[in-house]
Amino acid sequence: MKFMSEYRDPALVEKYLNEIHKTVTRPWNIMEVCGGQTHSLVKNGILRLLPEQVNMIHGPGCPVCVTPLHLIDKAVYLALEKGVMLCSYGDMLRVPGSQRSLLEAKAQGADVRILYSPLEAVKLAQDHPDKEVVFFAVGFETTAPANALSVIHAQRLGIKNYSILASHVLVPPAIEAVMEDEAAVIHGFLAAGHVCTIMGIGEYYPLVERYHIPIVVTGFEPVDLLQGILMTVKQLEQGEAKLENQYARVVRPEGNPDAVEVIEQVFETGDREWRGIGNIPRSGYQIRAAFAEYDAHLKFSIDIEKAPENPDCIAGLVLKGIKKPHECPQFGKGCTPQMPLGAPMVSSEGACAAYYHFSNAIEMQPS
């Protein structure tokens, strides 16, 4: 197939659905790791069409959703108290901190800007040498190359008033954390195709072997997802546990070596706190000492006391796949995209937002 429309072909969708129905004989819990996959499953009505034995569990694959509360508070502090030009992707602005969101800080006069690339932030720093510019660098491995490149670019240009507030999280440690959680019962995973486009698939072999679970690297269109689910169900029904690549048209086994080289030049792995989940060892990127002058954490010596999460928000249970969004008592009532209690109701990759915007998803099989 050559064109995107072919991956939305109703005939192919029906073919894969029929094969799934014919193949499955017992209940299976399959977690799609990426929030983009969650939105596609919900928006396209796929969850309604799957056999009841196939229970799709929505994973922690939304980097905006798992950005720690105190880190959002740090970004707000920089914008309001330090007077920096705080730049980030649009999703981050409405995620609630302990007191306010970046959007609320902007309404109070802070210089908060939505950008599409960190290189735009470098240009802003170049154009405003008297102003500190901080890019709130949030994302999985997918966005890490661009954020790393912005640091390299700023260093080469001799720009000293640019830094990044890094909140990069990594997918394989998240899968491991889910498997180690006794409350989460997962039989197989759909891995995020865009992450594997950058990093390759080698990191997933140890997980398959350690936990004896199928992992299928999958794309985001309806045909991609259904083929990935079918591949996973076939393995489960046959008692197999393999790593397979459904997204081979994009993902090469070795990933993108040039992008990985850029990441490794600027970042190193370290422990990272995940909002609603807790600390996961070696699950995030932090800036190497060679680029310390571009690390906003160090540059501004930010000391923000950690605040507790809203007790009415069950985002952590949703992110770990233990609860579905519509099982939250506050869903669509005390928590809406306009007045969110947690990040999954705000982000374009958040499971709660997907359920809210595509309300037919609420009438699905419970977890």
Residue 306 has pLDDT above 90, yes or no: no
CA angle 214, 191, 144 (to 5 degrees): 145
Q: CB 62: neighbour CB atoms within 10 A? A: 33
Task: Give the pLDDT mean for 146-164.
Answer: 97
Residue 198 has pLDDT above 60, yes or no: yes
Average pLDDT of span 328-352: 92
Least confident of 57-71, 130-144, 349-363: 349-363
Residue 363 confidence (pLDDT):
56
Range 1-310: architecture per CATH: 3-Layer(aba) Sandwich (3.40)
pLDDT at position 1? 59
Q: How far apart are CA 343 and CA 349, in angstroms?
A: 10
At 360, is the pLDDT very low, low, confident or very high (cuts 50, 70, 90)?
Answer: low
Q: Where does the chain show beta strands of DSSP type E?
A: 28-34, 54-61, 85-88, 112-114, 133-139, 162-169, 188-192, 215-218, 243-245, 267-274, 278-287
b/e sequence 96-110, b meaning 16+ C-beta within 10 Å: bbbebbbbbbbeeeb
Instruction: Kindly tell me if the per-residue pLDDT of 28 is higher than 50.
Output: yes
**Is 70 exceeded by the pLDDT of residue 361?**
no
Tell me which of 91-105, 314-328, 348-362 is least confident: 348-362
Hey, what's the torsion of the CAs at 25, 29, 32, 37, to 10 degrees? 60
CA dist., res. 169 & res. 175, Å (int): 12
Average pLDDT (329-339) is 93
Residue 271 phi/psi, 5-degree rounding, is -65, 150
Question: 216 pairs with which residues across the strands?
Answer: 190, 244
- Stronger pLDDT, 61 or 279, i.e. the higher one: 279
Rounded to the nearest 5 percent, the helix, strand and coil shares of the chain are 45, 20, 35
| Average pLDDT in the chain | 93
pLDDT tens column, 222-271: 999 999 999 999 999 999 999 999 999 999 999 999 999 999 999 999 99
For residue 247, what pLDDT is reported? 96
Average pLDDT over residues 334-343: 91
Residue 364 confidence (pLDDT) = 45
Say which residue, 215 or 339, is predicted with more confidence.
215
Q: Cα-flanking dihedrals φ and ψ of residue 162, to 5°?
A: -120, 140
Q: pLDDT value at position 367? A: 43
Statement: residue 4 has pLDDT above 70: no
Asked whether the predicted pLDDT for residue 157 surpasses 70, the reply is yes
Whether the predicted pLDDT of 5 surpasses 80: no
Domain ranges of the chain: 1-310, 315-360
| pLDDT value at residue 170 | 96
- The arithmetic mean of pLDDT across residues 151-158, rounded, is 97
The one-letter amino acid code at 49 reads L
Total-model pTM: 0.92
